[in-house]
Amino acid sequence: MKIIRNLKRIFVAKAHFQPIYSRQVAYIKQASSALLSMMETDDITERKRLEKEVKLCEVQGDAMLTEFYGLLNERFFSLFTKVDLQTVAVNLDEVLDNINDSAKSVIRYMPNTMDPQLVELAEYIAAEADALSALVSGLDDMKKNFSSMTLQCDRITEIEHAADETYEDYVGHIFQTEKDAIELMKHKNIAEMLEATTDTAKTVSDHVRKLLLRYVAE
């Protein structure tokens, strides 16, 4: 068993999955940046343009996932099982889907104001995107990058917890201060979608952390 494990460590098929993960994360970063810009502008036309940019990233991300499934059927030595590889790709795609849903919610509800707390939640998403980029880049050599990858996992967890606190405080705030029931629901629904997006990024980091413990810290 030890011999087989060592062979797998040698014959990790980096070229098969690393480029796709990196491109997925690149779309996540672009989409999260556009989402943040949507939250920061009062220009409705610009918001709609940015929402289309996010949607394009989501479509391109779907294409990456389709390409990934094609490569997954190839036979090659890998440090990970096919389920491990697939879970990373699917979870990254879920992050992109949620960013797209967040952008759509802004256009769908068109709130009269964009509260600072909503902008803050979008900032957390952008920060998680940066951390995911650093995390995924380490997958080509997890043994070498163990410490830095663990640090990024910790960073994403901290960001997600901060987002939870911001969301909970914000929901309490709008229920106490917003007198317009329609505007209240608009803000609450947008905040829910943004908070859910931060959760999906943590799902990625939690799975990668399991891979680190399973394949490196043994």
Token pair, residue 171, equals: 């929901």
Domain 2-215 listed as CATH 1.10.3210.10: no
Give the pLDDT mean for 18-42.
95
pLDDT band at 77 (very low <50, low <70, confident <90, very high): very low
Residue 20's identity, in one-letter code, is I
Burial (0-12, 13-18, 19+ Cβ within 10 Å), 44:
exposed
Residue pair 201/92 in contact by the 8 Å Cβ criterion: no
Q: Provide the whole-model pTM.
A: 0.90
User: Where exactly are the structural domains of the chain?
Assistant: 2-215
Q: What's the pLDDT band for 69 if we cut at 50, 70, 90?
A: confident
Residue range 174-208, pLDDT digits in tens: 999 999 999 999 999 999 999 999 999 999 999 99
Q: Which residues of 13-22 are buried (b: 16+ CB within 10 A; e: fewer)?
A: beeebbebbe
> What is the rounded distance in angstroms from the CA atom of residue 130 to the CA atom of residue 156?
9
pLDDT over 70 percentage in the chain: 89
- Check whether 46 has a pLDDT greater than 90: yes
Residue 126: pLDDT over 60: yes
Q: How far is CA 214 from CA 48, 117, 136, 209, in A?
A: 44, 38, 17, 9
- Output the six-digit token pair for 130: 């940066």
List alpha helices for the chain, DSSP H: 2-10, 14-40, 44-72, 82-109, 116-137, 146-177, 181-215
pLDDT at res. 2: 47
